[in-house]
Structure 1
């Protein structure tokens, strides 16, 4: 989840909210990508989760990263809760201790691969001294929610209180899931709209290809991506497939109007988080928020509110692809490769739009619901998702080849699609391989995952 920002510039009109999003437009030669991933820490001795405090806790891990790599600590109430760097990268803590890298904006997939390798090398250097390892799974496979640690971040306390009021699995989303995403740029409002529509429609393809969360509480949970099912049962006001994005005339203003009607979590003033969960941002704009009479909205209020919206693709001043379970390093880079090849090449974007433009809102929602359990065997418009995924990966490969961003060995970025090509060719998603191990060599236990599914 995003780091909360501080900008006390007042917002005087609705148009300023629209302009804030429009300010993200960039010329094509300035488009960048930022890859984010979360990973669940544990102690190999006893497969226990890692608490925040203690000589071998998450706090010690953050402190160790500062000493090793020159990160700047982000502190809240004397608790380090994240790290930042001059290049725009950040490390943050998810509610259950998931350790997240938000990568710096870079030009190529080769750079994001190098960044990931460097990050994992440094994390392992510190974590090894503390006896900590990290899972490559999209959900913690063993611990109950009650056994999962709680990180000392104020916004998470507010969200923890609010989530049970608006969905049945919101707390599982916060404390037990782990994702990978990529953040991408757009050149204009029309470019944003097309990219948003294509990526929303194809997000279930990514969910299937990266499905990697088949275990909960020490046993199979009946899903290939339990993380996806959890999101479908988390606060419907702020999640989902945004069917309005496909309506005639959709653009920045329509997104802003939707965001304004999503209930708020908090208002931050200095270091204080005011719990206004369920309140209206429209009231804050007018200075009529009951919990804070007379207080008016600022730029940071808007930025923080937009960061608490969780649709399958999120629009801020860039687009965030949010539909995938985390996996091992090669699949982390593959997620970015998949979307870069589709969205940053015009011919591939056009091909992808032709692939999905005939789908209705019902088709898209039905597909999203199906992939959690069916993976690539789900069907839309008479075609299996495996066939659609094959087309999408092919479009992405062509787009990456046309980008022609070469590494020192002369290879273009399509090399990073190989894990997805293997999945499409086999028709079996990662979770199915894990279930085979569970019912076979693992002998009906998830404990081997703590040795074999590790960064």
Structure 2
């Protein structure tokens, strides 16, 4: 997220929190696709991480992109921490360890998404190449320890860094040593939101398996295919993972609000200053818990929207839905991930088919699958069926949905072409993580250094 919001509208009741989400639905013809992707910045000379400060640095990249794009700089304590396109149609931000992120504009189809990503990477390369910087597209930092990983001067990250070790064993790894590809998608009504979040919550472990690309940690295999997936199993379980109540037939906006109210906060922003609020929940905040601690202690709508951005379930609800289960990966996967979910969720017949296919998957079933996937990948099973077989069915549903949408490019090719990387995985029955492990044990001669050359953007 590039910028924390500062909406000063006062809050006085819980109903206002639900009312905020209730403004999310939009007509189907206005559905859009917002794709986010992160990548690790490294120096090509020695594959070392890129610091924030210096002539060749994360801050220098941001300033170079500012000059090239003309986007508005986002500042924190005098430091540039991101860029915002002036009309609000996209942003660039940095994650805690310097992971460089594009939050794409809301676009109509995957052809546009791919063009946007390609253009972003091309401009970024122009800025980065003279500095000797390149970018790695996989899900987990393959070489650097936490101590070796730089830290970005962003106030919310300072609060999170202090808090994470108190609530889980992998929170700092999540912050500093992982990358993801995500897609943000719309819904037309509360009922449509509930269907989509239920189906996508069930299928998120499948996305983790298909996009697994984090088999190395600190220079050697970590015994997993998606280290990032394993990290999310114990990061901060009060705000992440599966949400069992989503599986209820009557789930709605108010249920999500009730859950979010009882999750500890990270911060509030007052006059540009971040105040640590990890000792209270949003419900306590609404009841006046900060009175006497800060001057402007009354909650605002900006506080609520910021709080929603600090919740990390596998599918996150704002005024849209965020698919959060996939590792980062090479360029083709930046297109494949949104294509997978758009095909499933934006075509009515495909959504019906996906809903029927997963109808008998219980919370316990999905939880067990989520636990198994980081190590087993597509060999994991649910209800006695392997994810290889399930993937063929689900990717097939997605492909049908994309063909039905019938968004074609100038050559007459529809969006289903962007599922080709997933078709290749299913044909080989191996994930990208397994391909990398085979290379490590083969021509890479037990070294992770070649990953920086072979999987860079």
* TM score, norm. by length of structure 1: 0.99
Offset of 1:286 from its aligned partner?
Answer: 2.5
Does the Cα contact within 8 Å between 2:226 and 2:375 map onto a contact in 1?
Answer: yes
Question: In structure 1, what is the equivalent of residue 99 of structure 2?
Answer: 98
Does the Cα contact within 8 Å between 1:238 and 1:311 map onto a contact in 2?
Answer: yes
Question: In structure 2, what is the equivalent of residue 165 of structure 1?
Answer: 166
Does the Cα contact within 8 Å between 1:287 and 1:293 map onto a contact in 2?
Answer: no
Please say if 1:219 is aligned against 2:212: no
Does the Cα contact within 8 Å between 1:280 and 1:289 map onto a contact in 2?
Answer: no
Counterpart-to-counterpart distance in 1, 2:364 and 2:2: 31
Please say if 1:11 is aligned against 2:21: no
After superposition, give the CA deviation of every residue in 1:35-85 in whole Å (9 maximum; x if it has no partner): 000000000111110000000011100011111121211111110000010
Question: In structure 2, what is the equivalent of residue 110 of structure 1?
Answer: 111
Give unpaired runs (5+ residues) of structure 1: none
Counterpart-to-counterpart distance in 2, 1:436 and 1:364: 29
Please give the root-mean-square deviation of Cα atoms over the aligned residues, in Å. 1.0
Offset of 1:2 from its aligned partner?
Answer: 5.1
Greater Cα shift, 77-86 or 429-438: 77-86
Question: In structure 2, what is the equivalent of residue 422 of structure 1?
Answer: 424
Does the Cα contact within 8 Å between 2:211 and 2:432 map onto a contact in 1?
Answer: yes
Does the Cα contact within 8 Å between 2:110 and 2:339 map onto a contact in 1?
Answer: yes
Pairing 1:112-151 to 2, within 5 Å after superposition: 112-151=113-152
Please say if 1:372 is aligned against 2:374: yes
Counterpart-to-counterpart distance in 2, 1:172 and 1:245: 27
Greater Cα shift, 222-231 or 283-292: 283-292
2:12 is paired with a residue whose SS is coil
Counterpart-to-counterpart distance in 2, 1:84 and 1:294: 27
Question: In structure 2, what is the equivalent of residue 447 of structure 1?
Answer: 449
Does the Cα contact within 8 Å between 1:167 and 1:236 map onto a contact in 2?
Answer: yes
After superposition, give the CA deviation of every residue in 1:406-442 in whole Å (9 maximum; x if it has no partner): 1111111111010011111221110000000000000
Please say if 1:204 is aligned against 2:225: no
Counterpart-to-counterpart distance in 2, 1:230 and 1:288: 32
1:324 is paired with a residue whose SS is coil
1:323 is paired with a residue whose SS is coil
Counterpart-to-counterpart distance in 2, 1:56 and 1:333: 29
* TM score, norm. by length of structure 2: 0.98
Please say if 1:298 is aligned against 2:300: yes
Offset of 1:294 from its aligned partner?
Answer: 6.9
Counterpart-to-counterpart distance in 2, 1:331 and 1:61: 24
How many residue pairs are counted as aligned between the two chains?
Answer: 455
Pairing 1:183-262 to 2, within 5 Å after superposition: 183-262=184-263
Does the Cα contact within 8 Å between 2:82 and 2:91 map onto a contact in 1?
Answer: yes
1:355 counterpart (350, 353, 357) = 357
Question: In structure 1, what is the equivalent of residue 56 of structure 2?
Answer: 56
1:341 is paired with a residue whose SS is helix
1:267 is paired with a residue whose SS is strand
Does the Cα contact within 8 Å between 2:71 and 2:83 map onto a contact in 1?
Answer: yes
Counterpart-to-counterpart distance in 2, 1:278 and 1:41: 34
Offset of 1:288 from its aligned partner?
Answer: 2.9
After superposition, give the CA deviation of every residue in 1:252-311 in whole Å (9 maximum; x if it has no partner): 000000000110011111201001113121122122336447711101000000000000
Pairing 1:312-323 to 2, within 5 Å after superposition: 312-323=314-325
Does the Cα contact within 8 Å between 2:226 and 2:327 map onto a contact in 1?
Answer: yes
2:19 is paired with a residue whose SS is helix
Does the Cα contact within 8 Å between 1:239 and 1:309 map onto a contact in 2?
Answer: yes
Give unpaired runs (5+ residues) of structure 2: none
Please say if 1:264 is aligned against 2:293: no
Question: In structure 2, what is the equivalent of residue 438 of structure 1?
Answer: 440
Does the Cα contact within 8 Å between 2:265 and 2:307 map onto a contact in 1?
Answer: yes
Does the Cα contact within 8 Å between 1:213 and 1:325 map onto a contact in 2?
Answer: yes
Please say if 1:29 is aligned against 2:2: no
Offset of 1:246 from its aligned partner?
Answer: 0.7
